[in-house]
Structure 1
Amino acid sequence: MNIAPAWLKTFCTVCDSGSFTRAADALGLTQAAVSQHIAHIEHVVGPVFLRRGRKIEIMPSGRALLQYARDVDAASHRLAHAISPDRSHAGTIRIATPGSSGLRIYDALLSLQVRHPDISVHHRFAPTDDIIDAVIGNRVELGIITHMPDDARLRVRKIGIEPLELIVPATVEIKSYKDLCDLGFIDHPDGASMATRLLGQVFREFSGVKQIPCRGFSNQITLILEPVARGLGFTILPRFARKAFRAQDQIAVHDHAPRVFDTLYAISRAEWPLSALSETVLDEIHRVIADQDKTSVNSAL
C-alpha cells in the first residue's frame, strides 16, 4: 500500500481528535497540509471521512485503514523493544500528569535525572482527559490520571491514592456548611469534580457546586491557593498541591470525616510493551506515591 508514513500519522491524528483543525494544531501543520495528506490517502484507498460541516465521521474504508495503521504502529514498537539494548537508565521519556500529583512526581524524576544524567524527562501537566488523549495519540508514553479509563487501547495500572483536602483561609473558622457557602469557592480546572466528590460525602446539605458562590478561578496549580491565603474563598485540592504552596501559615486544612481519596492510575498504550526506561520511571513514581500513601493513611487514622 503506497501511503507515506506522514500521511498515515496525519490520518490517525484526525481520527483521534475528530477535527482537521485540532489535528493540525497537534501536528504543528497548517490545516491545508492536513487536508492535502488526507487527499493523498483518499486517492489510494477511496473516501475515508464523511464530512458534515465541521463534523467528520469515519467511513468503513477509514476504519479499516485506522486498524491497519495501529497494527503497523504496534508491530514497530514490538520490534524496537525486541532488538534494542537495555536502556533502563538512558534515553528520553515523555510523561503527562495532573498538576497536583505531578508536583511531587516531577521533583522525584529530577532527582532520578541527577542520579542518571543520560535520562531526559519531558514532563507535561494536564487535565485527565488531555492526558488520555496524549497517550492514545502517542504524544506521551506514560500518563498519570485520577479515574479508571474505559478504552481498550490503554494499559492501566493502579499506583496509589491521592488525598483530597478542604482548604480554607487560616483566619476563618468553618463550623457549618453555611460558613463555606458564605466564604465562597475558588475554582480550578478540576475544582467542580473534586468539590463534588469531597463535599458530597462530608456535608448532607451539599446539592452541587453551582449552588456555592464562585469567588475566583485559576488554572495554574501553584496559584490556586493564593486567593484562599488572602481570605477570598475556599477550595478543594489534593494534598500534593497544598503541601507545595509557599505560605502554609496563611491556609488551613478543615478537619472532616470521612476522609476522601482519589485513586491514581498509570496509563500507556496497550498494544506494545513499555520501554525499559518507562519501567524505571514508573517504578520511581510508584515509590513516591507509596510513600505518600503511608503518610495519608496514618493521618486518616
Structure 2
Amino acid sequence: MMNPQWLTSFSMLSETGSFTHTAERLGITQSAVSQHVRQLESQFGPLVLRNKRPLELTPSGQALLVYCQEINQADMRLQLRLSESETTRGEISLISPGSVGLRLYPLLLSLQEKYPDLAVRHRFAPDSEVMDAVLHNRYELGFITQKPEDKRLVAEKFTAEPLELVVPAGQTVDRWEDLERMGFIDHPDGQAMATRLLSRNFPGNAGVRNLPQHGFSNQISLILEPVSRGLGFTVLPQFARLAWPDQQTISAIACPVPVTDTIWLIHRAEWPLSKRSEQAISYLRGHFG
C-alpha cells in the first residue's frame, strides 16, 4: 500500500502546479514534497513534467491522480457512514468568501461552545477555490456568490448580501465629485464591486479606475481600517461592513439603485450531508433569516 502522505503531496501538487505552493498548503518543506513525488515515481515512472510552468502531469500522473480522487471519495463516504448519526460531535468543514465568512465563523464558534465535541474547520477563499475544494472533498460545505453549473454540486439559495458604499463617519455622497475628493480604498474585488455599484448610481461617471487611489488591502478584516481613519471610501459586501468592530467610525451610504448578490450553499451531490452539517445549516439559516 502506498504511503498516504506521498499521495497527499502528489494530489496537492497536481492542484497547485508548484512544489513551493504545495509545501505552503501542506505546511511541510519543499524538499519533503519533492521526496514524496520521487518515491512515487520510483514505482510508477515519471509523473510530473517539471520543465512546464505550471507543472503538468504525465499520463501516469493523470492515472495516479484519478486513483487519489477515488480514495478521497471512498474515505469521505466511510466517514459519513460512520458518523452520520452524530449531530453534536465531529468536524464541520466549510469554505467561503471572506465577507460572508466573517459572519459564518463566529456563529459556528457559538454552536461549538454549545457542543464542545464539535470541531469547526473554516477557510476563506474566492468562489473558484470554494468550488474546487468541495468537488475534491476537502470541505463538506461551501458558500459562493455565483451559482455553479457543475452537476456534481447541489446548490441552494442561502441568503442575499448587498454591496455597500462605505465612507468615513460624517461624510456624505451626493455627487461623483464627492468620491473623487475622498479617494478609493481598493481590495482584491474592489474595482469590480465598485464598478457594479457606482455605475448604476452615478451614470456617466469617469469610472472607478479614474478615481484617486488612497490605499489597498487584501485582508478582508482590515479594508475598513483606512476608511475609519478618514483616508478614503470603499465598496464592500454588507457582512464585511457589519463585522467592523467600531461602527461609529464608518457610514454606509444608501444608494438609490441597490446591487445584491445571492449567496449559494453548495455540497457534493453524490452523498447526503452529515447530520451535524445539516444541524449547522439549520442553525445558520436561523441567524440569517
Write the distance in 2 (CA, Å) between the matches of 1:84 and 1:91. Answer: 8
Q: Deviation digits for residues 98-152 of structure 1, max 9, x if unmatched?
A: 3322222223212212332221223333444444454455443323222234556
Q: Deviation digits for residues 234-280 of structure 1, max 9, x if unmatched?
A: 11112222223233333222222221111212233455443222222
Partner of 1:192: 191
Contact 1:89 1:119 in 2 (8 A): yes
What is the RMSD computed on CA atoms of the aligned residues? 2.5
Bigger CA drift: 256-265 or 96-105?
96-105
Contact 1:186 1:224 in 2 (8 A): yes
Partner of 2:221: 222
Bigger CA drift: 250-259 or 159-168?
250-259
Identify unmatched segments of 5+ residues in structure 1. 292-301
Q: CA deviation at 1:223?
A: 3.0
Q: Match for 2:3: what amino acid?
A: A
Alignment of 1:85-96 (within 5 A): 86-96=85-95
Partner of 2:173: 174
| Alpha-carbon distance change, 76 to 122 in structure 1, aligned in 2, over 3 angstroms | closer
Write the distance in 1 (CA, Å) between the matches of 2:193 and 2:251. Answer: 18
Q: Match for 1:94: what amino acid?
A: S
Write the distance in 2 (CA, Å) between the matches of 1:137 and 1:19. Answer: 18
Bigger CA drift: 245-254 or 211-220?
245-254
1:146 has 2:150 as partner = no
Partner of 1:201: 200
Contact 1:97 1:126 in 2 (8 A): yes
Contact 1:13 1:137 in 2 (8 A): no
Secondary structure (helix, strand or coil) at the match of 2:222 reads: coil
Q: Match for 1:221: what amino acid?
A: I
Write the distance in 1 (CA, Å) between the matches of 2:26 and 2:136. Answer: 10
Secondary structure (helix, strand or coil) at the match of 1:52 reads: coil
1:255 has 2:276 as partner = no
Partner of 2:46: 47
| Alpha-carbon distance change, 270 to 37 in structure 1, aligned in 2, over 3 angstroms | farther
Partner of 2:97: 98
Secondary structure (helix, strand or coil) at the match of 1:102 reads: helix
Contact 1:105 1:288 in 2 (8 A): no
| Alpha-carbon distance change, 229 to 34 in structure 1, aligned in 2, over 3 angstroms | closer
Q: CA deviation at 1:11?
A: 1.4
Write the distance in 2 (CA, Å) between the matches of 1:205 and 1:94. Answer: 45
Q: CA deviation at 1:220?
A: 3.4
Partner of 1:18: 17
Bigger CA drift: 205-214 or 126-135?
126-135
Bigger CA drift: 188-197 or 200-209?
200-209
Q: Match for 2:245: what amino acid?
A: R
Secondary structure (helix, strand or coil) at the match of 1:157 reads: strand
Q: Match for 1:200: what amino acid?
A: S
Alignment of 1:156-175 (within 5 A): 156-175=155-174
| Alpha-carbon distance change, 36 to 273 in structure 1, aligned in 2, over 3 angstroms | farther
Q: Deviation digits for residues 139-175 of structure 1, max 9, x if unmatched?
A: 4332322223455664433312111111122322212
Partner of 2:30: 31
Write the distance in 1 (CA, Å) between the matches of 2:12 and 2:70. Answer: 15
Q: CA deviation at 1:179?
A: 2.0
Contact 2:83 2:274 in 1 (8 A): no
Partner of 1:244: 243
Q: Match for 2:174: what amino acid?
A: K
Secondary structure (helix, strand or coil) at the match of 2:55 reads: strand
TM-score computed with the length of structure 1 as normaliser: 0.84
Bigger CA drift: 169-178 or 5-14?
169-178
Write the distance in 2 (CA, Å) between the matches of 1:265 and 1:44. Answer: 43
Q: Match for 1:261: what amino acid?
A: T
| Alpha-carbon distance change, 126 to 56 in structure 1, aligned in 2, over 3 angstroms | closer
Equivalent pairs counted in the alignment come to 289
Partner of 1:212: 211
